[in-house]
């Protein structure tokens, strides 16, 4: 995996972790506006990093595969298969 792909995957993983963490907090503190604001912030970071990764290296999840003409999820290289 090249440095740019690695950097984007790191950003996706970090934002995903932060989202999971704040979701657990929001489950018990649903009225905390700061936590909700933080959730939206890290969700935006994750979405931006995912769009950048998928534009450069292909889909990360099956639902992101371009399947308008043909199912390509199985024919494209997957992120965990090494060099993309």
Domain boundaries, the chain: 3-81
Residues 67-80: what's their mean pLDDT?
69
17-70: per-residue pLDDT in tens?
Answer: 999 999 999 999 999 999 999 999 999 999 999 999 999 988 888 787 766 677
pLDDT of residue 22: 97
In the structure encoding, which two tokens stand for residue 12, read together?
């996706």
Query: Is the pLDDT assigned to residue 83 strictly greater than 70?
Result: no
Query: Is the pLDDT assigned to residue 13 strictly greater than 70?
Result: yes
């Amino acid at each position: 995996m090249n440095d740019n792909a690695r950097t984007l995957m790191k950003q996706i993983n970090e934002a995903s972790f932060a989202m999971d963490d704040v979701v657990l907090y929001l489950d018990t503190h649903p009225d905390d506006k700061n936590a909700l604001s933080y959730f939206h912030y890290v969700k935006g970071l994750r979405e931006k990093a995912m769009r950048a990764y998928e534009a450069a290296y292909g889909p990360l999840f099956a639902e992101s595969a371009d399947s308008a003409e043909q199912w390509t999820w199985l024919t494209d290289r997957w992120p965990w298969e090494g060099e993309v």
